[in-house]
Each structure stands twice: as structure tokens, then as C-alpha cells.
Amino acid sequence: MDSIRVSKVERVLCGKSGGAHYGSLHLTAHHLIFRYEDSEKEEMWVPYPLISLVLKLPQTLHGQSPLTFHTRMFETFSLSFEKERDAIDVFESVKELTVCTSVNQLYAFFYTPNPPFDATGGWSLYSPREEFGRMGVGTRTKAWRFTDINKDYAFSPTYPSRLVVPSRISDSTLRYASKYRSKCRIPALTYLHWANFGSITRSSQPMVGIKQNRSLQDEKLVEAVFQSHHFSESRLSGPVYGATSTNLIVDARPTANAVANTAKGAGTENMDNYKDAKKVYSGIDHIHTMREALAKVVDVLREADNVAASVTGSLPGEAQQLVVVDRQALRRSGWLRHMSNIMEGAALIVRNIHINSSHVLVHCSDGWDRTSQLSALAQLCLDPHYRTIRGFQILIEKDWVSFGHKFLDRCGHLSSDKFFTSLPETGGTSSGADAAQAFLVSVQNRFTSQSHLKETSPCFHQFLECVRQLQRQYPSRFEFNERFLRQLLYHLYSCQFGNFLYNCERERRAGEDGVAPSERAACIWDFFNSTSELEQNKNDAYDPSLDDPSSRDPSADMGVLYPNAKDIRFWHELYGRTEEEMNGRIVVSQTKEGPEFTSPIDSLEGDPVNSISIPAGIPLPPSPARTPNLSNTSVVPSNAGNASEALTAGLRGLWSSLPDIPQRTTADNIAASSPASLRPSGPPLRSSSPGSHSSPPARSRTANSTDTFYNTGVRSVWGKLSSNATAAFSAMQDAYDGVSKDFKALPRSGDNEDVQGKISELQPRERLRDGERSAYRVTSQSHSVGSSYNPWDNMKPQKATHILPSDNPWSTTRSRSPSQVPSSQDLFDGKSLPLDPTVAHPPRRLESGDSSGFRISEQSHDVGIPYLTVVSDESLVLEQEDHPPSTNTDPLGVGFL
């Protein structure tokens, strides 16, 4: 071929899996083959579509020209050439052979099994009539029928040719209803439960729009689906199952996505028009978020390889993995959280079908990505037949291939030259023009072919990882093992077989040139059903007797599995790492954030899409500084089953934790006061008289009718902080001015009654007594806001600094007893100016004859400024005391709560 500049290169050093070996490199039309000089080592065959990234690195110090290859199976290997010309030829050849412009150029249309597989019939493995007949359509129940309305794919080009719909709905009604669904993907049956007449139907989003459009035909179709268990023939075959009040419409998207689609003319169902049903949002993110999450995982693994290579001075792939993978970075990728959302959505469908004996309609935006994930996983849990090797193959053909998952776009089979990067030389010989040219090339590579790359997403890969989680949770319930799933993912990207090369059933039957792929390409199921593969893919621990629905064993589950959405781990075998590297030695819950599930919605008022409340999927404004401590459950609820309620409860907890510092009411600020709707609700204003000892009223958090933000579930937190800070500063400054005036008028000696009257203002909640000699103990502590914490605190709590003796005239904490209150002469030295209570001063040395001393201690209560209590001691001692936190929080130490 013209694309191959060099077909064979000798003396190439291949670094892979921590070792480096010499051999010869061969380039064919569809494979990169490396043959080791050691004949005992197996040849390495790499199909070109499996290559995800190629880097041409600068020459090494030894004069070798390396190329680094990254594959879609998360493998990394490097090839080092003795000649620069050979490296360039191999790089350009692989680039031209990998970047295909047509499906017909892929390896599947040139591959011929040799010897032929001993299993045949893979292309006809799935028959809609046989599979739905096995479920009971047409035999066990007459509520469903087959329709050929899409036999020529004119009704819905992305749907299968044969659909199963309710018997009560005619084809004419279906045509009208199709106009209300995106891509004409109407609700169609995909599963009928064996234990009752519960069903799973799937569709695309309704075209509601901002004007809240509706379709009577679509409403009748959904109603017929949800009442299919009431059909007369069904009633004869057994008891009537199903409670219509638990019928669910599962919108797989986050609430924010549904809002965005409403603005674009689509959206989600208005539950006022769909009776006897409720709606929930699963909160599964779109394809772009999933792609970015997996890319972050890949970056972490590549970074570990690069660090290991830099430590040993070798190339990526050659060095042993000396550096441990950054597991925190892996968790921050969000990959486990996304899988947890999918598993939680599948568990909800399983419970509603099997336990509630009801029906579920699943859809996302177009109904071919997230809908396929939820539908297939739920069926895998509900029906033991799909946990066999043959049944799993039928499940993939039915819910993924037939219902139109876009394998060609999502897998990126037509790769882009963006995946090939040549790094410039770093030596001093390169000129400025060469550097500028390299920069322009890198910019072009970054922005070319973006229209194709933005459609790629690991949807099917994510589904297989979720199946792996089920396998790990129920190791004896699957006929196939982990290798089967890994091989399936490998051949998804290898393009060796014709099953996963197209976007829908119509394209797969016709092909690009009018020739059906089944006549030209091999089938992957013939490969997996061959004898040699079956022996390697069977699970030795499989016990089909556990799926017997008639079993009366106490631990029997009738063959229905309930996935644990919290027990999610990385599939370490797939990523080529150990369990400890990917998940840690002790695996804990790695998905701290629960999925964004909303409570069932049965009316327009309860739907966050159609209300003014902020959706749970939309993040809050960025915080000024600090992040919350996840261990505190007062703001981050442990059970995130209802994200909307969790968000509102979290904000209310934050609101209730903020201190109430009333504004000082004067003649000046009364006129300039803000409207009532903008003032924070709190206790009434209290007198700031020093002699006031009345306890503050209970803190009320009931919303005022005029509160602008209450109905939306979000309160004006920043407004309250600003208001409290202003009031606190004003009150502190006024009090300090008054104290300064009293100090100036204070006589230098004597204990008359006037002095005592003025000094008493320094301790507004204590009564000062005369003639007592005692030492002072200053206690300090880091304050807390109410019963909660600072939600933006990302700093570790520091040890409290010991502030030396100085009185806090605004302390809200009382002294131990009236007998311990000092006299005025003990408080102030007549020869010195009064101490500033807001500034820490150095300690005074105690005279040898002084019988009193200072004791500095830390105490746990809510005032951040030190206060004075009196003890009888003669030494300076550091002491720690335990006091219950005060419910009247005063973080600024003003004392005007």
C-alpha cells in the first residue's frame, strides 16, 4: 500500500510492561506487529483502530529516536529506533493507516478467520419475535403486539424495524405520537418481567418546549403502557399485579439538563398530563462529562508511567511502576461517582418492577446512551437469562445495537490525526522559525476534526464496567467471567468484527455501499461462542441453582439482583494495575456524593423543571475561601437520596448556623433601613444595657412571607453575613468609645462608689465586689458558628493562641461565682493607661511578694475574644477545661445577642 513508507525495521527496542527487548517491527495494512528476538516471547499485534495516541519524542542521549504508543485498552509501550528516518517513516505510516475516512476501510471488512470458527449463526442470534415471545408477549399476555410500522425505517430511522407496543394503540395513533418524541423514538417495549406483568419501555424526550406543548396521543400511549397489566387476557393467567401509583417515568438526565432542553424546544414530561404515574431524575451526566471523566483517569495513569520513567531514566513502558498511582486524583475524576449514579438508577427500576409490580418508562435526551445503560443493567438484574453468555449477547444486540446506540460516533472508529503529536527537539539547533512552525502545527492539531471527536464517549465501556461491579458483588450469579467483558471491550475498539461499526440497525443492514456487513464481515458472537473462547470465558463459580424462583431457601432472591451503588471500585484488571494501586489496600466507599435523585414527581408544581427553584444539578456560587468538612453532617447530609431536599436542607442548616447580631436602631438608620424582604430574620432587638441579664429569646428560623429567597429554597446567606458584620463592627466601636471615656475619667486611686459604678460597665453580666485579691485567668478558643462550622473553611484547625491577661468588656460568658469577681484596683494599674481589649499584650512579671498570679487556659466555648475569670493561684499555668458550646454564638465577641 502507498500508506506504508516502511514495512519492516530491524533492531527496534520495545519497552512494555516494565521491560525492554529488541526485535523487529512489521507494518501491515491493519496491524502493527512486533516480533521479539527471543522466540519464546509471543508476538505483539496491535490493530490500528486500537491506538489512541502516538507521541514522537526527541532523540535520547544515546542517539535513539523513540515513539510512544497509548492504546484504548490503557496500555503504553515505546519503540526506539536507531535511525531518525525510520522513526519518522513509522510515525507517518501508522498515522495514515489509523486515520480512516470510511467504515469500509476498517479491518472488519478484510478479516477472514483462519481457521473458521466452529460456531455459526451469530448474525441471527437475536430475533425480536423469539426473544419477546420468551418473555410472554403473545402467549402469557395479550396486552402487547408487534408492529411493522418501521419495517422500512421511514417511521423512525434510528429505531429497530420491529417494535412491540400496547395492543390498544393503533399504528395511526403511533404516527401522531411520534411527532411529540425526539427523533420519533416513541415509547416501545424492551422487557416484560417474568414474575409479573411489569414492563420496561424506552423512548426519547418529549418535545415540550417553553410553551408546555402536549400530545394526547402520546399521553394515551403512555397510559396504555402503564395499564397493560389490567388487560383481560392477562387477568386470566394469574392475579392482577401492579399498583399504578408506583408507575415511574425515569428521566436519566440531571435536572439542569432537562431545563436546558426545555429552552431548546424539548424537555421532560408535564406530570399533570400523565396520570397514575410519577417521575424521577436519575442525574446521569451527558456524554461530554463522561468523556472528560475517563480522560482524567487516563491522565493519572499516564502520569504515573511518566514519573516512573523519569525516575529510572527510561521511556514510558520500559520502567517498572515504581510510583504509586495517585488514588485521590482518580477519585477526583468523578468516574466512580458516575457509575454509582447509573447503578442507583438501575436499582430503582429493579425495585419498582419486581417489588412494586409496576411499570417504568426510561428516557434521556435521544434515548440511545443513558437509556440503554439503565435499561440493560436493570434487565441484567431482573432476568437470570441475561446473565448467561448467550443471554448477555442477546441483551447487547437488543438494547444496544437494535435500539440504535451510535457505536460509530461514540467509539470514534474513524480516528483523527489529532491523536498523533510530534514533539519538537529541545536542543540548541532549532531556530525560532522552527519553534513557531511547531507551535502552529500544535494549534492545528488541537482544533482539527473537533466535530467528530465531540461525539465520542465511553457509554458502552461504562456499561461493561457496571456489569463488572455486579459480577464482583454477585460472583456466583454470572456464567461469564471478567475476561469475557475485557475481551468484549477490546474488540469494540479493534474493529475486527462488524457488529459495532454503525450507529443504528438501518445502517448495519444496508452498509455504506448497499452490501450488508453480515455478508462481508465476521460476527463477534461466532468468535465468543467458539469452543476455545467458551472455555476461557466461563465462570467456574457460576451456580444457576441460585436463580431458581421456586426456591424456598431463606436466602433465596428469586433470581433478582439488587446492585449496591455504594460498593463501586475501579476495574483494575482493565487498567493494567493491581487492586491496591487502583483502590487501596482497604477499600472504603469511594463515592461520597450520592446520585442526584429527586423524589417522585406527580404534578407540575413538584417538578423542578417547571418551577422557579434552583435545580439540584446547578452548583452554588463559588465560596470566598474555604471548603466544608465532609465529616459534619449538618450541612452535607449523609443520605443524598433526594438532592433537591438535600440542597435545601443544607442551605437551611447553614442559615441556622449563622449568628444573629441585631442592627442598632437609631433615628438615623431607621429612615435608611432596607425593606423588610431584604432584612435577615432573627430575634428582636435587645437592649445593650450593661445591667441586662435577660436570656435571649429562642432563635427562630421560620421564613417570613416577605422573604424573597425562601420560596426558592435558597436564602440570602451573603446578605446576612454582611449585615451581621456591619452591625458587629458598629456595636464594638461604640462600646469601645464609651469605655475609653470612662477610663479617662477614672481616678488613679480610691475605691469609692462612683468608680465602682463606672468599672461595672466592663462586666455587663457580673456584679463586681470589693476587697477580693485574686489572679486572673484568660481563656481563649477558636469560635464556632452556632452548632455548625464555617462551610468555606479549607484550613486545618489551628491550636488556639494563648492571649495574655486583658479584659474583654463585651464578654457573653459569666464568671464562676460572684465571690471571684475582682475589684477595680485589681483590674487597672493606676500608673498605666488602660489596655486595649482587642490587642494581646505581653505578660507582666509577678512580683515575688504578690500572692496572686495569672493563669492562662484554653476553654471550649463560642467566644473568639478572651474573657476573664478569677481563680486563686500563685503561678502562671496553662490549663484546658471542657465547657459545652454555647448556643448563643458571638464570633466577634460583641455580646449583643
Angle at 175 between CA 171 and CA 179, to 5 degrees: 155
- Give the span between the Cα atoms of 355 and 196, in whole angstroms: 10
Please count the residues of the chain.
897
748 labelled as ligand-binding? no
Inter-helix orientation angle 335-350/370-382, to 10°: 50
Where do the H-state alpha helices sit in 529-578? 531-537
* Residue 523 falls in the annotated catalytic set: no
Q: Cα separation of 638 and 593, whole Å?
A: 9
* Beta-bridge mates of residue 540: none
Give the closest residue to 689 by CA, choosing from 896, 408, 471, 440: 896
Q: Is 754 annotated among the ligand-binding residues?
A: no
Q: Cell numbers 467458551 correspond to what residue?
A: 534
The answer to whether 368 is annotated as binding is yes
Task: Report whether 364 belongs to an annotated binding site.
Answer: yes
Angle at 493 between CA 487 and CA 494, to 5 degrees: 80
Tell whether residue 655 is among the known ligand binding residues. no
Is residue 263 marked as binding?
A: yes
Question: Catalytic one among 14, 100, 184, 364?
Answer: 364
Please list, residue by residue across 309-342, b when 16 or more beta carbons sit within 10 angstroms of its beta carbon and e when fewer do.
beeeebbbbbbebebebebeebbebbbbbbbbbb
Q: Return phi, psi of residue 876, to 5°.
A: -90, 110
> What is the C-alpha to C-alpha distance for residues 200 and 193, in angstroms, rounded to an integer?
8
Task: Report which of 400, 504, 414 is spatially closest to residue 460, judged by C-alpha positions.
Answer: 400
DSSP string across 399-415: IIIITT--HHHHHT-S-
Tell me whether residue 264 is annotated as binding. yes
Nearest to 526 by CA among 497, 494, 484, 505: 497
The four Cα atoms 387, 391, 395, 397 give a dihedral, to 10 degrees, of 150
Q: Is 367 annotated as a binding residue?
A: yes
Ligand-binding annotation for 731, yes or no, is no
CA dist 43 and 239 (Å) reads 62
| Residue 542 CB contacts under 8 Å (≥ 6 apart), including other chains | 476, 477, 478, 479
Query: What element of type H or E holds 146?
Result: strand 144-147
User: Minimal CA–CA distance to 415: which of 514, 518, 495?
Assistant: 495
Strands 775-780 and 867-871: antiparallel
Structure-block grid coordinates of residue 626: 474555604
- Determine contact, residues 758/745, Cβ cutoff 8 Å: yes
Active site residues: 364
Q: Cite the annotated binding site for substrate by residue number.
A: 261-264, 364-370
**Residue ranges of the binding site:** 261-264, 364-370
